[in-house]
Structure 1
C-alpha cells in the first residue's frame, strides 16, 4: 500500500451515504494520533464556556477523577466509531451518554456547541499539524457523522454542513467564552492529567507545551499567563515537523482505536461499555429516575 492509497479509497466513497466508513478511515487509519490530540483540545475548549466548564467543576468528575473521566469520554465516543450506530455496543454507549447528560440541566445550545468542536477542531488541527490536511470530502463526511450522532443524542438545530458547523462554533465562542473559577480548575486538572502521562521530570515542560497550543481566546478566558512567543513557535514547529515526518512513513495497515491509546489508563483488563461513565444517585442531585447499571446489549471490550 502506498502513502495516498487510503485517501483514494476514501475519495471513492460517498460522504453523504458512507460517512461512517470515511470518518472511521480518517480517524483511525490516517490520523489516529492527531485525532486523539485534536479531540482533547476540542473538549478543552468547551471548558471556556462558563455554563459548561462550571457544570463540570460542580460535578467534580473532571477535577477529582480526571483520568477516569478522560478514559470514559474517549471510550464512549469511540465505541460508536468502531462498532457503528446500529451495533449493540454503540447503542449502549449512546444510552450511557444520554443518561448522564439528562441528569443535568444542559442547554441544547451548549450541546450543539460541543458537537461543533468535534467537527471543526480536528480539521483545523490537521490543517496546522497533520501530514496532510483533511479534504473537503472528509470534512463533509465528518459533519454528516456528527449530525447523525447529534440526533441520537437528542440535539436539535444541528448545522447542515461543515461550513455551518464552523460558523456556529466561532459565533458561540465569541459570544460565550469567559472566566469561571470552576472552569479554570477543570482546565488545570486536565493539563495536570496530560502532564502525568510522561516521566515526572518532563511534566512541567508538557504542561507548558499544552498551554502553548491554546489560542489567545482560550488563554484569556482561563486567565492563564500568555505563553512565551518563542516557546509557542517551538512547540508548533515541532508538531509541524512531526507531520512532515509521518508523511514519509508507510501507511497504517490496521485501524487504531481510542481503546488502544496509551493515555487510557483505567482498564488494563478490559471494560464493559455499559459500566462506563457516572451513575447519578436518585435524590442525590442527579437524575430522579433509577437506571440499570448494566444496560441490555452492553458488550465487554478486551484490553488494548
Structure 2
C-alpha cells in the first residue's frame, strides 16, 4: 500500500512538472557516453526509492559500483551466506553432483548474468521478467521452499550494506538502500513470495532466519569452490597468494565460523578495509558508462541476443525474448 500511495501523484498528474523534470534528467544522463560517479549519485538521490527503484538500483550496483571484481566479491559472500542454511546447501551440493562442484565459474557467470539482466532491464519489463521466469523454471525441479527463496532475496538486498558495514565503511545512501530493498521486494512479489513490506521488517526477518545457520560438509565444499573461482578469476601468477586473505577479510566473523574458515592475517585485516574504501571512493567519482551492466563481463560466453530458454543446465523449452528496442 505504501508503494501504491507514492505512485499516485505520478499516475494521475498531480506533479506533472516535477515528473517531466525527473524524466528529462534521466534521459540526459542516459544519453551520454560517459558520466561521472558524482552525477550518477545525484541522479540516484533525485529518484523516489519506491517508484524509481529499478533505475536507482541499476545506477548504484551496475554503474557506479558495478566493476566486475566488486560484483563478484559481493555475490561470493552472499552465496556463502545462502549455503550456511543447510536446506539450501543440500540442494546446491546434491552429494557432490551440483553444478557448483563441477563448473563453478560457468555456474557463477550464469547466475551473475541473470542478476545483471534483471538489474539492467528491470523487474517490470517483459524481458527482465523472462529472466525471473527462467530462474524459477530451473529451480522448480529442486523443491526449494518459499522461505529459502526469500532468504536468498534478502541476501541480495542487504549483503552490499553488510559488507561495507563490516569493513567500517560508509558507501551507500539511505536512498540507495531503500531502492535496493524495493527492487528485490518487487522481484519476490512477482515470484509469488510474501515479502515483508518494509526494509526494517525484511532485514529483521533475514537475521531471524539466520538462526538456522549450521555447518555442513557440503556447504564447506561449495565455499571452497567459491574461493577457487575467486583465486583463478582475479589473481594470476604470484598474486594468487593474496586472494584468500582478501576474501576472508570481507567475510564476517560469524560466516567464517559457520564454514570453519581460517581468520585473515593481521596484515590483511589492517590493509584490506582501507584499500576497499579507497577503491569504492574512486568508483564513486570516476567516469562510467551509464548503460554498463554485470552482463557485459559475466555474459560473454553466450552469443547475443541471449537465448533465455537455453541459459542454465536444462534444455530449451520456450521462445527467445529480446530487450525492447533490439532489432530482430
Pairwise TM-score range, normalised by the shorter structure: 0.7 to 0.9
Q: Is the 8 A contact 2:59 2:290 kept in 1?
A: no
Instruction: Answer yes or no: is the 8 Å Cα contact 1:92–1:295 preserved in 2.
Output: no
Q: Deviations over 1:228-273 (max 9, x none)?
A: 23322222232123234444x4332423211222x65633777422
Structure 2 segments unaligned to the other structure (5+ residues)? 1-34
Residue pairs, 1:263-282, within 5 angstroms? 266-267=301-302, 271-279=306-314
Instruction: Tell me the distance in 1 between the aligned counterparts of 2:213 and 2:207.
Output: 10
Match of 2:59 among 9, 12, 25: 25
Q: 2:321 aligns with which of 281, 291, 298?
A: 298
Residues 88 and 274 from structure 1, CA distance in 2 versus in 1: closer, same or farther, beyond 3 angstroms? farther
Q: How many residues align?
A: 285
Aligned match for 2:128, one of 90, 101, 112: 90
Q: Secondary structure at the match of 2:287?
A: coil
Give unpaired runs (5+ residues) of structure 1: 280-291
Q: Partners of 2:189 and 2:163 in 1: how far apart?
A: 25
Q: Which has the higher helix share?
A: 2
1:89–1:299 CA contact under 8 A, matched in 2: yes
The range that moved more, 115-124 or 125-134, is 125-134
In 2 relative to 1, CA 147–244 (structure 1 residues): closer, same or farther, beyond 3 Å? closer
| Residue 56 of structure 1 pairs with residue 79 of structure 2 | no
The offset of 1:130, in angstroms, is 10
Which residue pairs with 1:194 in the alignment? 230
| Counterpart position of 1:288 | none
Query: Given the superposition, is the C-alpha separation of residues 50 and 297 from structure 1 closer, same or farther in structure 2, using an over 3 Å criterion?
Result: same
What is the root-mean-square deviation in Å for CA atoms of aligned residues?
A: 2.6
Task: Confirm whether residue 9 of structure 1 aligns to residue 47 of structure 2.
Answer: no
Q: Closer, same or farther in 2 for the Cα pair 1:127/1:218, shift >3 Å? A: closer
Counterparts in 2 of 1:194 and 1:271: CA distance versus 1, 3 Å: farther
What do the CA deviations read for 1:19-70 (whole angstroms, capped 9, x no partner)? 1111111122221124443233212211111111222111521110111110
CA distance in 2, matches of 1:265, 1:201: 26
Structure of greater Rg: 2
Distance 2:296 2:50 in 1: 29
